[in-house]
A and B are shown apart, each in its own frame.
Chain A
Amino acid sequence: MVSVPEIWKEVAVADNIIELKGLTRRYGPFTAVDSLDLAIEKGEIFGLLGPNGAGKSTTILMMLGLTEPDDGTVRVCGFDPVSDPVEVKKRVGYLPEEVGFYDDLTGMENLVYTARLNGLSSNAARIKAGKLMERIGLDAEKAKKTGKYSRGMRQRLGLADVLIKDPEVIILDEPTLGIDPAGVKEFLELIVGLSREQKITVLFSSHHLHQVQQICDRVGIFVAGKLLAVGDVKSLAAQLFRGEDRPAGSERKDYSLDDIYFRYFEGGVDHE
């Protein structure tokens, strides 16, 4: 008789850094996440797509151990967030949708605080925070209180805040909301660069289809707590638009993520 954790070890060999099995979370009669299975490989950039209230944020909270699943199992970096939340949170950086900082501290002080919570000495924390401020282009603003930061600056500081713990996985929940187009481009390039350079796995949850298409290796389409499709954009398109020559009413040759996404919601695909 093999116990459940041992089976898990067997399954986890495939270098999957995030593994969700039959994950379910209910709020009263409402099922926010419905027996979700998902595996994300190390080093990939995975896009989580879906309308509001599809259960994306709940799934993310369960990966971090901030919400307990009603059913199913989660494995992140080989740890179970339900029983080992601290080990998971040592390795996973999470940038929430609207990241908050202590407004009466400077950007630098906020970063140093996070670094010290992650077990750095205050000197090491200061050096590292300084380097990160430079990297995200906030070097000139590091002595300014975060209360005076613009939305885009806060978001970039949020990224630095995530990076200061040298994460293996970064989870970004709508990170580009409210940043201007140039800022978005810079932000996305930074993420892609980091992921490729340091083999950081990125889970990118967003409504912005073209952003997701731009940076993600694979995407998962999430509707009403269920994962409807997983794969890279090309194979999803090939699956969906078999026999169609080009997007309807368009001159383009390739299918974009928009086409795929809307196909799911126009009832063109059987959800079961």
Chain B
Amino acid sequence: MSNAVVSIKTKTARTGERISHPFRVIVEKEMADHIRSWRFIILIAIIALTSLGSLYTALANFSQAVKPNDPEGTFFFLKLFTITDGTMPSFTVFISFLGPLLGIALGFDAINSEHNRGTMGRMLSQPIHRDYIINAKFTAALAVISVMLMALGLLVMGAGLIFIGIPPTAGEFMRVVFFILLSILYVAFWLNLSILFSVLFRQPATAALSAIAVWLFFSVFYPLIVNLITKSLAPSEMAAPQTIIAFEQFRLALLRLMPNQLFSEATTTLLMPSVRSLGPLTMEQMIGALPGPLPLGQSLLMVWPQVTGMAAGTIISFVISYVLFMRREIRSR
């Protein structure tokens, strides 16, 4: 017993001799801060509960969801993430709803809290480059989010495996992994947006509220606005097919300005292999097509624009916050 304790001690002593790069030191500290914070514990509790709930509804309705002539019949493991009986939203809907909240919660006080505590001046007088601070904040939050979502996704898979008793195929497994990566990217977008607000606003409360306002705008009001616009512009049913298609494409283009629209399109495609188009299809395109699942590569190709869009949004908000932060003059408090 005491031998074991001693060996652990010498081990830590040995690792303690390693000199870490300052960037790593900051990331480690930020990650520790996140994990220890009440905020994170509460978020984890909410998200774990909702995934449990969605998993429960998915499992309860699993037998009805699998139909004999379903082209996706071979992919029923993926249904764990998408099916619902209407009382509880599915796992993907939960992620698209709560993911932004997670991102916002981990980023809204990234920079301004350092100002308010007066630690920014002290940090910047250490021998580190200024961008280490903002980069490390982003990296730490992203690492925490990735670990959490990855664990959550794999746990849902594991639970599903226990209850259904049929293991997922390699293809299904890869689809779920891509879905998790996509969710991480989606949360990263909201994380960067809230970091941007934390650079812009001195008060963390203002930053949090503005980020939540953007989130609410996109998830509640923007679809309404798009509806209003498109309703007034809608062509009659007698209009030429080109007009109808052009209009439909215009409507989709407007909707695709929403990050949540991009996310839901991408997840639908990944988790429902029979989806073969996200836009309008003409009868000509449909005729002769056999309803069958797409291979993973084709599904990925189809969501590539959506992924690029989300990545672009993430990068743009990060670049703006980076530039603003680097140019700001730092005074104590």
Interface residues of chain A, those whose CB is within 8 Å of chain B, are 57, 61, 64, 66-67, 85-87, 89-90, 92-94, 96-104, 113-114, 116-124, 126, 158, 161, 165, 173
Question: Which of B25, B126, B330 lies in contact with A89, CB distance below 8 A?
Answer: B126
Report the count of interface residues on B (CB-CB < 8 A). 30
A67–B25 CB distance below 8 A? no
Give every chain A residue within 8 A of B20 (Cβ-Cβ). Answer: 116, 121-122
Beyond contacts A61-B330, A86-B128, A102-B117: 5 other A-B pairs, Cβ-Cβ < 8 A, are: A66-B330, A89-B128, A122-B20, A123-B16, A165-B126
A96–B122 CB distance below 8 A? yes
Counting CB contacts under 8 A, is B332 at the interface? yes
B332–A173 CB distance below 8 A? yes
Counting CB contacts under 8 A, is B245 at the interface? no
Question: Which of A66, A103, A117 lies in contact with B22, CB distance below 8 A?
Answer: A117
Interface residues of B in 104-159 (CB under 8 A from A): 117-129
List the 9 closest A-B pairs by CB distance, nearest first: A100-B118, A123-B16, A96-B332, A94-B125, A90-B127, A100-B119, A100-B117, A89-B127, A117-B126
Counting CB contacts under 8 A, is B11 at the interface? no
A98–B127 CB distance below 8 A? no
B137 smallest CB distance to A (angstroms): 14
A64–B122 CB distance below 8 A? no
Interface residues of B in 1-59 (CB under 8 A from A): 13, 16-20, 22, 25-26, 29, 33, 36
B186 smallest CB distance to A (angstroms): 30
The chain B residue sitting closest to A154, CB to CB, is B118
A-B contact pairs, 17 of them (CB 8 A): A57-B331, A61-B330, A66-B125, A66-B330, A85-B129, A86-B127, A86-B129, A96-B118, A96-B332, A96-B333, A100-B120, A102-B119, A117-B25, A119-B22, A121-B19, A123-B16, A173-B332
B136 smallest CB distance to A (angstroms): 11
Give every chain A residue within 8 A of B122 (Cβ-Cβ). Answer: 94, 96, 99-101, 114, 158, 161
Chain A contact residues: over half helix, strand or loop, or mixed? mixed
B125–A100 CB distance below 8 A? no
B11 smallest CB distance to A (angstroms): 12
- Give the distance in Å from the alpha carbon of A94 to the alpha carbon of B121 in the complex: 9
The chain A residue sitting closest to B26, CB to CB, is A117
- Give the distance in Å from the alpha carbon of A263 to the alpha carbon of B26 in the complex: 49
Give every chain A residue within 8 A of B332 (Cβ-Cβ). Answer: 57, 96-100, 173
B24 smallest CB distance to A (angstroms): 9
- Give the distance in Å from the alpha carbon of A155 to the alpha carbon of B294 in the complex: 65
Interface residues of chain B, those whose CB is within 8 Å of chain A, are 13, 16-20, 22, 25-26, 29, 33, 36, 117-129, 329-333
Give every chain B residue within 8 A of A113 (Cβ-Cβ). Answer: 25, 29
A93–B13 CB distance below 8 A? no
- Give the distance in Å from the alpha carbon of A177 to the alpha carbon of B121 in the complex: 17
B12 smallest CB distance to A (angstroms): 9
Give every chain B residue within 8 A of A173 (Cβ-Cβ). Answer: 332
- Give the distance in Å from the alpha carbon of A123 to the alpha carbon of B14 in the complex: 9
- Give the distance in Å from the alpha carbon of A57 to the alpha carbon of B125 in the complex: 14
- Give the distance in Å from the alpha carbon of A57 to the alpha carbon of B330 in the complex: 11
A148 smallest CB distance to B (angstroms): 15
* A99-B329 contact given A86-B128, A92-B125, A123-B13, CB 8 Å threshold: no
Give every chain B residue within 8 A of A96 (Cβ-Cβ). Answer: 118, 121-122, 125, 332-333
Give every chain A residue within 8 A of B331 (Cβ-Cβ). Answer: 57, 61
Give every chain A residue within 8 A of B126 (Cβ-Cβ). Answer: 89, 114, 117-118, 165
- Give the distance in Å from the alpha carbon of A85 to the alpha carbon of B129 in the complex: 8
- Give the distance in Å from the alpha carbon of A121 to the alpha carbon of B12 in the complex: 12
- Give the distance in Å from the alpha carbon of A94 to the alpha carbon of B25 in the complex: 20
* A121-B17 contact given A64-B125, A86-B129, A90-B127, CB 8 Å threshold: yes
B25–A103 CB distance below 8 A? no
The chain A residue sitting closest to B114, CB to CB, is A100
* A117-B127 contact given A100-B117, A100-B119, A102-B117, CB 8 Å threshold: yes
- Give the distance in Å from the alpha carbon of A120 to the alpha carbon of B22 in the complex: 10
A117–B128 CB distance below 8 A? yes
B29–A67 CB distance below 8 A? no
The chain B residue sitting closest to A25, CB to CB, is B329
- Give the distance in Å from the alpha carbon of A153 to the alpha carbon of B127 in the complex: 25
Give every chain A residue within 8 A of B120 (Cβ-Cβ). Answer: 100
- Give the distance in Å from the alpha carbon of A123 to the alpha carbon of B126 in the complex: 19
- Give the distance in Å from the alpha carbon of A103 to the alpha carbon of B33 in the complex: 11
The interface centre, meaning the residue of B33, B121, B330 with most chain A CB atoms within 10 A of its CB, is B121
B260 smallest CB distance to A (angstroms): 34
Give every chain B residue within 8 A of A124 (Cβ-Cβ). Answer: 17
The chain B residue sitting closest to A102, CB to CB, is B119
- Give the distance in Å from the alpha carbon of A161 to the alpha carbon of B13 in the complex: 23
Give every chain A residue within 8 A of B26 (Cβ-Cβ). Answer: 117
Question: Which of B36, B128, B329, B333 lies in contact with A100, CB distance below 8 A?
Answer: B333
The chain A residue sitting closest to B115, CB to CB, is A100
Give every chain B residue within 8 A of A123 (Cβ-Cβ). Answer: 13, 16-17
